[in-house]
Chain A
Amino acid sequence: QKEVEQDPGPLSVPEGAIVSLNCTYSNSAFQYFMWYRQYSRKGPELLMYTYSSGNKEDGRFTAQVDKSSKYISLFIRDSQPSDSATYLCAMKETSGSRLTFGEGTQLTVNP
């Protein structure tokens, strides 16, 4: 069983739609949760960073963590074609440097 499960998609939505991207995990020691966005032929860039449970909002993006269900989500409101990318979830325990990534979800927002 993978430590982090993420549906690879591809996911295709019309412009303006609300997008929900999700990851589940099995390691209850994970405390730090991140979402990275990776455009084609580019490296991943950090999009959202949250600690423990709760919500964090940044513009059109909202990251949600439910530690009791071992489930994290990234919501994109009013999605734009420029949001088309692969979204990687990543998580980390409180100590050590190892960051565990999901497989990534490929998103296409159609104009």
Chain B
Amino acid sequence: ETGVTQTPRHLVMGMTNKKSLKCEQHLGHNAMYWYKQSAKKPLELMFVYSLEERVENNSVPSRFSPECPNSSHLFLHLHTLQPEDSALYLCASSQTENYNSPLHFGNGTRLTVT
């Protein structure tokens, strides 16, 4: 059982819908991340939170809106998405947001935008 839990596992939404992805980590980590994984592409970092403060926003369109209410929970709010946003969205956590702190990933939410 992974220490990082993501819900839902699968999500199908229309372009006009609003939905949210949820991530919870049970590892006592201080940093949390959202990554996008598309077929035939490397993992793309979207957002980084350290101690509930956003420290990086990697040029992500505003239709993706993250929220980190505390160090254990991370949300990704979605609205007016495009079909090219269909991908596996991975949440990760690490002890700290620095170079020698390995990432622990959840199992992802498979998002399909119709």
**Is B66's CB within 8 Å of the partner chain A?**
no
**Is A60's CB within 8 Å of the partner chain B?**
no
Q: Mark A6-29, 1 if CB is under 8 A from B, else 0.
A: 001000000000000000000000
A100–B105 CA distance with the chains assembled, in angstroms = 15
Interface of B is mostly: loop
**Is A72's CB within 8 Å of the partner chain B?**
no
- Name the B residues within 8 Å of A43 (CB-CB): 2, 4, 90, 92, 105-108
The reply to whether B102 and A34 contact each other, CB–CB distance below 8 Å, is yes
Chain B positions 90-112 with a Cβ under 8 Å from a chain A Cβ: 90, 92, 97-100, 102-108
Cβ of A96 to closest chain B Cβ, rounded Å? 7
A51–B100 CA distance with the chains assembled, in angstroms = 9
Q: Mark A80-111, 1 if CB is under 8 A from B, else 0.
A: 00000000101011111111111110000000
Q: Which residue of A lies closest to B42 (CB)?
A: A101
A107–B31 CA distance with the chains assembled, in angstroms = 31
Residue of A4, A95, A99 near B45 (CB, 8 A) is A99
The A/B interface has a contact count, at CB < 8 Å, of 58
Residues of B within 8 A of A (CB): 2, 4, 31, 40-43, 45, 48, 50, 55-56, 90, 92, 97-100, 102-108
Sample of 27 A–B contacts (CB below 8 Å): A2-B42, A4-B42, A8-B40, A34-B102, A42-B108, A43-B92, A43-B105, A43-B108, A44-B43, A44-B90, A44-B105, A45-B105, A46-B103, A46-B104, A49-B102, A51-B100, A88-B43, A90-B43, A94-B99, A96-B99, A97-B31, A97-B50, A97-B56, A97-B97, A99-B103, A100-B42, A103-B42
Residues of A within 8 A of B (CB): 2, 4, 8, 31-32, 34, 36, 41-46, 49, 51, 88, 90, 92-104
10 more A-B contacts (CB under 8 A) besides A42-B107, A95-B99, A103-B41?
A32-B99, A46-B103, A94-B99, A97-B31, A97-B48, A97-B50, A97-B99, A98-B45, A101-B43, A103-B40
